[in-house]
Structure 1
């Protein structure tokens, strides 16, 4: 049975999810070794920097998404961020990503957050269909990125 819960309640999956994110977005992590990212991400589950929600089927990890305090070093004035959205290839197309995103949005709403941000190199159309607005385009990691936001409330 599929369910969603905070990663901090299932820390045995933390290194695996951090590894998936590190691999999926390798261009962002080219200067950060996997072990360092895994440690930062694990610490972020308790210090609020990376509040990750995961999707599980029984105890099998299917994916996750994070509410990050900071996710773009060139824009420290912005935040919080929807970040680290990843679903395993075998579970894609089942609505998990959208459910994770909406759960993070609802959590942000519950926390009194007024606006969420994200950046993407290839999914701006997907997010636009779900209420996210393009703020600007920029270049980072040798890729065109879309900075997007969504009003919470």
Structure 2
């Protein structure tokens, strides 16, 4: 498996946008594949946020994860967020998500980020709990129950 920045393979935007639209399109406006493709062009960074790290296996895109600013407007004090962690169904259960999360953490440290937050619909915290993330609060955000988690770096 190879981990790369989206800025190294910008042609991956269309696949990532489709994944995100298919997985989270129900959340609300701005989640169509076309709208997401436009938004994801903002993530073509390598040394500043927002950015995306992608996972590839033999030139095939198998996953993605984002490091971004201010994901939830109800937490203006929480600046840095892990988001958009997605692994293609055929590659799940093979450590791809863990590798992506660890790569995001490493990149965040490079950029002098001291703490990362996330939101998940898995109220147990799932993989994030196993990787040392701590629950902050359960909230209903934009009509969806989520668990907000944090990891100091």
Normalising to structure 1: TM-score of the pair? 0.90
Map of 2:129 onto structure 1:
128
- Structure 2 gaps of 5+ residues are none
Map of 1:83 onto structure 2:
83
Deviation at 1:9, TM superposition (A): 0.6
Q: Distance in 2 between matches of 1:138 and 1:125?
A: 17
Map of 1:145 onto structure 2:
146
Q: Do 1:41 and 1:50's aligned partners in 2 also have CA atoms closer than 8 Å?
A: no
Q: Distance in 2 between matches of 1:73 and 1:38?
A: 22
SS at match of 1:25: helix
- Structure 1 gaps of 5+ residues are none
Q: Do 1:6 and 1:52's aligned partners in 2 also have CA atoms closer than 8 Å?
A: yes
Q: Distance in 1 between matches of 2:50 and 2:40?
A: 6
RMSD of the TM alignment (CA)? Answer: 1.7
Q: How many residues in Structure 1 have an aligned counterpart in Structure 2?
A: 150
Q: Do 2:140 and 2:146's aligned partners in 1 also have CA atoms closer than 8 Å?
A: yes
Deviations 1:77-113 (A, max 9, x none): 3121011000000000100000000010111112111
Deviation at 1:6, TM superposition (A): 0.3
Map of 1:94 onto structure 2:
94
Runs of 4+ in 1 over 6 A off after TM superposition: none
Write the mapping of 1:36-55 to structure 2, written as runs, cut at 5 A: 36-46=35-45, 48-55=48-55
SS at match of 2:73: coil
Q: Distance in 2 between matches of 1:97 and 1:140?
A: 24
Deviations 1:14-41 (A, max 9, x none): 121022012212233x211422221111
Deviation at 1:8, TM superposition (A): 0.8
SS at match of 1:13: helix
Q: Do 2:24 and 2:31's aligned partners in 1 also have CA atoms closer than 8 Å?
A: no
SS at match of 2:44: helix
Normalising to structure 2: TM-score of the pair? 0.90
